[in-house]
Chains A and B, each alone.
Chain A
Amino acid sequence: MIPIEYFLTFGTILFVIGVYGVMTKSSTIVVLMCIELMLNAANINFIAFSAYGNFIDAALGQVFVIMTISVAAAEVAVGIAIVLNAYKMRKTVSTDDLDTMRW
């Protein structure tokens, strides 16, 4: 059987890639995609823990994953709409140009 560390390491790598993307990318769409990566890292953690742990309620982690997937879908739907709205108003989706409000 594959040890649980493999899954957790995979999840961590995904999470760190996501954080890196959020911190460095200037396109808002890419930032939203990186946030999805981070959410999926957490999903992998949940599934791994619920498969390997000895829980009274084994479905708990899986239920949480379903919640996360639906929340992530809603979040991206709203996020893309808001980015589109910003594009309509400002003709840009770059985080560097959305800087009229500072400090």
Chain B
Amino acid sequence: MDATVITDIFGSYSPIAPMIVLIIGALLMPALYFGFKKKAPVSAIALIVMVISIAINLIMLTGANYPAEYASFEGLFEYNAFSGLMILLFQTVALITLFVSISSTETTTLHFGAYNALLLIATVGMMFIGEANDLVGIFVGVEAVSISSYVLVTMKRCDSRAAEAGVKYVVIGGLSTALTIYGISMLFGSLETLTLSELGPALAANGYSWPLVIGLICMIAGYGFKIAAVPFHMWAPDVYEGSSTPVSLFLATGSKKMGLVVFFKVFLVMFVVAKSMAGFDIELIQYIFAIMAAFSMTVGNIVAISQNNIKRMLAYSSIAQAGYILIVMAVMSEYALVGGLFHMFTHVFMKGGAFLIVGALICVGIGEKITDYNGLAKRAPLLAFAMMLFLFSLAGVPPLAGFTSKFILFSGAIFDADGSGVMTQWVWLAFVAILNSAISLYYYVRVIKAMYIEKPSKDASGKIKIPNTFAIAIAVCAVLVIVLGVYPGPILDLCADAAAALI
């Protein structure tokens, strides 16, 4: 479709058109719930707003003739292939979350309007990070997401674990904000700029200095909390366990990707540009990220083995997944970035699908323990099969989506991007990652064993009927996990364009 449809309506505001729609929707939500006093119409309107926003973004991303003079909004926000793709990712996550929130028994009824509004605002914050052109935009976007997700975590019906998770999340989140802002202030003082594209040249010109190193450490730590990379991961399992499952889904697939986008937009671009400018030495930083990645995968996977609560297990597994994607930060090549972006996409569907199944089963009264899943294959064969697909995909079993994206991601760490077949120095990292995939298969198979081999307990028998919205969302995720695995072409092209636009 022709992109001038959008620019005719929004004019110079078209780069932020998808956000404008969502902000209007978010402001309407509480009033609508106050008027209707019913969940269904409010949820329907939220979904319509989100679909409009996705349509606008898709037209801008894939449509022809998007005018170049509208690419940037006042120099603050810039729409390009990268930001478009990331916006699409965040919108997908938000769409799934909004869709299942209505029938989940865990989400709040009393404040359903506010819940939807906060979900939309958090999505807007993520989308602004995708487009932000300077550190001010990134900082404010991250805070918009964080502050709304503190409330989302606490908004759970009748569960004191949510209150505890909320307190932990606020304290850790506040600490990470303070670290980040202190780091940014040091970076600002030593490089004298906040524009992302100017950070690299300024770094190459000034070289390392003490304030700059302190600033970088603080920023990496602060944003490391957001992606829950080891050693900044302690909050993630508690928060994912305590919050309602749709919110856990939103945090694990959306909020984590937001942190990774910040890493790509700030650090990756900064160091790649600095290296290309003056042969600037970035090997030390690459090793820092490589060690973070290796520890995230290993700790995440090993601690996940001993978990009995499935939400905690999935939380640790998503710490490990963040470790896999951090390989991009260590390798710092365009090819690895393509793999990383693709893995971010497939992770939405496989981790999202697993959380959806957990949420659906909680709705019908099945607990969060892995032993509660005993004999699930007899009671709900399709659901058990879908769960098996998602878990195998997370472990990286071909031909599912997780295998394809991991293959591209890890091969970026093994071979140089220029196609000469020369191995990079990061082969050991790929080796650690593959070893970790094997470890992860152990605890995923434990769930599958419980579902297919163990006998169900006496009082738990009979067929399970999950809510329709969950069934539809799970089916879509399952189909996408298979389709992206065997036919990754279209989305991979978008990822390649995005990576080329970023670096």
Contacts and interface: CB of A to CB of B under 8 A. Distances in A.
Please indicate which of the listed interface residues B160, B181, B186, B241 has the most CB atoms of chain A within 10 Å of its own CB: B181
Interface in B206-255: 211, 237-238, 241-242
Contact of B189 (A43, A49, A85): A49
Given A18-B178, A75-B177, A103-B303, A42 B185 contact: yes
A86 B166 contact: yes
Given A49-B185, A60-B194, A101-B161, A22 B171 contact: yes
Contact of A46 (B165, B173, B185, B242): B185
Given A38-B182, A63-B136, A82-B150, A71 B143 contact: yes
In the complex, which range does the number of interface residues on chain A fall in? Answer: 35 or more
Nearest to B211: A8
B147 interface: yes
A49 B188 contact: yes
Please indicate which of the listed interface residues B135, B166, B303, B306 has the most CB atoms of chain A within 10 Å of its own CB: B166
Nearest to B135: A64
A89 B155 CA distance: 13
B139 interface: yes
B163 A95 contact: no
Nearest to B169: A82
B136 A67 contact: yes
Given A49-B185, A75-B177, A64 B194 contact: yes
A45 B170 contact: no
Nearest to A52: B189
B275 interface: no
B372 interface: no
Contacts of A3: none
B181 A68 contact: yes
A48 B306 CA distance: 49
A85 B163 contact: yes
Contact of A101 (B164, B177, B185): B164
A45 B135 CA distance: 16
Contacts of B192: 49, 53-55
A83 B237 CA distance: 20
A15 B182 contact: yes
Nearest to A4: B189
A28 B194 CA distance: 33
Contacts of A49: 185, 188-189, 192
B107 to A, nearest CB: 16
Nearest to B174: A35
A90 B178 CA distance: 28
A26 to B, nearest CB: 11
A101 B241 contact: yes
Contact of A90 (B150, B160, B174): B160
Interface string B46-70: 0000000000000000000000000
Given A28-B171, A67-B139, A98-B167, A42 B181 contact: yes
A78 B189 contact: no
A19 B274 CA distance: 32
B184 interface: yes
A46 to B, nearest CB: 5
B147 A74 contact: yes
A12 B161 CA distance: 36
A45 B214 CA distance: 13
Interface in A18-43: 18, 22, 28, 31-32, 35, 38-39, 41-43
A15 B173 CA distance: 16
Contacts of A35: 171, 174-175, 177-178
B175 A61 contact: no
A82 to B, nearest CB: 4
A83 B147 CA distance: 14
A43 B177 CA distance: 13
Given A86-B166, A98-B167, A64 B182 contact: no
A85 B165 CA distance: 11
Nearest to B306: A103
A35 B135 CA distance: 21
A41 B182 contact: yes
A49 to B, nearest CB: 4
Contacts of A8: 189, 211
Contacts of B321: none
Interface string B141-154: 00100110011001
A39 B177 contact: yes
5 contacts: A28-B167, A45-B189, A48-B189, A81-B151, A82-B154
Given A42-B178, A79-B170, A100-B161, 11 more contacts: A31-B171, A31-B174, A38-B175, A49-B185, A67-B136, A71-B177, A78-B170, A86-B166, A95-B167, A101-B164, A101-B242
Interface of B: 135-136, 139-140, 143, 146-147, 150-151, 154, 160-161, 163-168, 170-171, 173-175, 177-179, 181-182, 184-186, 188-189, 192, 194, 211, 237-238, 241-242, 303, 306
Interface of A: 8, 11, 15, 18, 22, 28, 31-32, 35, 38-39, 41-43, 45-46, 48-49, 53-55, 60-61, 63-64, 67-68, 71, 74-75, 78-79, 81-83, 85-86, 88-90, 93, 95, 98, 100-101, 103
Q: Which 8 A-B pairs have the closest CB atoms?
A: A38-B178, A45-B185, A49-B189, A35-B174, A42-B181, A89-B163, A86-B163, A89-B160
